[in-house]
Amino acid sequence: MPLAAVMTAPHKSVEVQNLPAAVVEPGGLLLETIFSEVCGTDVHLHNGHLAGVPYPIIPGHVSVGKVIESGGAVKDVDGNTIAVGSIVTFLDVHETCNNCFYCLVAKASTRCPSRKVYGITYSANDGLLGGWSEHIYLKPKVKTLVLPASVPPERLIAAGCGLPTAIHAIERAAIQLGDIVAVQGSGPVGLNAAILALLSGAGGVIVIGDPDNRLQAARAYGVDEVISVSATTPQERVNRVRALTNGRGADVTLEATGVPAAVREGMQMTRDGGRYVIVGQYTDVGEVSINPHTEINKKHLEIRGCWGSDFSHFYRMVNVLARHGDRVGWEKMISREYSLQEMNTALSDVAAGRVVKAVVRPNRPTASRLD
């Protein structure tokens, strides 16, 4: 019976449990997990900030694994045969209906009411449907990709959910060559957004965040300026961005903090006629007061929301990693690997910002640091 780290309820310690082995259906795949991740969503799950979660669950919504059993002939979207021994990743979102307004008309499958998500909205009672497990069962029609040789598992999991989420945000941001881009937040989503802004031809990238280990990571990836939240006031941060942009403000600002108060601040540091993209408000953690005349209408500010990602972003993530991975070095983002027995420590480390990127190695008994 495979081991899995199970989140039994909000605010309860994660438990390592033996769970029943998966029965592979025709079209299904069974993976031996190589890596999964611990991200901000997992912290939200542990804090009970997401509605409709069917606890107990096996978290870990982005993972990479080796196929150890196949339910017949299965191919990925590129037509590659997914054979036993293939190294694969998969889109966590499953069971979108492709028959509702959001799927067919709005082209916003993240809003499909039938949508299920591995590691989030599948119960542990339903099977091995999350990455914090020695095995992951991929149901028939889960959107799976064979990793090219140029994308090692470590690179894929270093990018994790942050890269496809950032790809969605950059798509919404519509950055023009030479734009000055401010990124609020220095976690995995913010760092990936900064990397993509640089790859998109931004004329300058400013990252606002904390703690220092994450700001150092931003510098290592080549951003032009970092601003520490703990060392500045909101007005000082707005003033600094304006000073770096000839008094105007950023052409594009991306919010990746999850802190409601950051939204008003980000709007103020964006220039008149600029664009503000909100990607970090994944859960409802409060409200913020905004003057719609002075902060939106009068300054012609364009505001765009961005929630989650779909298969197009996931597919492009693999292509970005294949094309730019050696130059960018996503693996440098990984601060520590954790075993299944260390998931409570991992959640605490992520919540406190002690790590840049935390990854799970379910089939490794002890934790190790990556040098």
- Per-residue pLDDT tens digits for 206-216: 999 999 999 99
How far from the centroid of its chain's Cα atoms is residue 234's Cα?
26
174 phi-psi bin (left φ>0, alpha ψ -120 to 50, beta other): left
Q: What are phi and psi of 370, to 5 degrees?
A: -90, 125
Joined together, the tokens standing for residue 302 give: 């364009």
Average confidence (pLDDT) over 136-147: 96
Give CA separation, 261 vs 89, 247, 268, in Å. 35, 22, 12
- The residue with greater pLDDT, 284 or 349, is 349
> pLDDT at residue 369 above 50?
no
| pLDDT reported for residue 231 | 98
Average confidence (pLDDT) over 39-66: 96
CB 61 within 8 A of CB 7: no
- 163-305 domain in CATH 3.40.50.720? yes
CB 6 within 8 A of CB 45: no
The Cα–Cα gap between 184 and 359 comes to: 23
Which residues fall within 8 angstroms of residue 70, CB to CB, at 6 or more apart?
24, 28, 29, 30, 82, 83, 84
> pLDDT at residue 78 above 70?
yes
The bridge status of strand 180-184 relative to strand 204-209 is parallel
For residue 370, name the pLDDT band (cuts at 50, 70, 90): very low
For residue 365, name the pLDDT band (cuts at 50, 70, 90): low
- Look at the block and give the residue holding tokens 């970092």: 226
- 189-227 pLDDT, tens digit each: 999 999 999 999 999 999 999 999 999 999 999 999 999
The Cα–Cα gap between 180 and 79 comes to: 40
- 3-160+309-360 domain in CATH 3.30.1330.10? no
CB 173 within 8 A of CB 252: yes
For residue 371, name the pLDDT band (cuts at 50, 70, 90): very low
Domain locations along the chain: 3-160+309-360, 163-305
| % residues pLDDT > 90 (the chain) | 93
**C-beta atoms surrounding 17 within 10 Å:** 17
Mean pLDDT of the chain: 95
Nearest C-alpha neighbor of 29 from the set 149, 118, 123, 103: 118
The Cα–Cα gap between 35 and 152 comes to: 11
Domains 3-160+309-360 and 163-305 alike in fold = no
The Cα–Cα gap between 243 and 234 comes to: 14
The Cα–Cα gap between 37 and 337 comes to: 9
- 89-132 pLDDT, tens digit each: 999 999 999 999 999 999 888 889 999 999 999 999 999 999 99
Beta bridge partners of 255: 184, 278
> pLDDT at residue 366 above 60?
no
Nearest C-alpha neighbor of 189 from the set 218, 221, 162, 223: 162
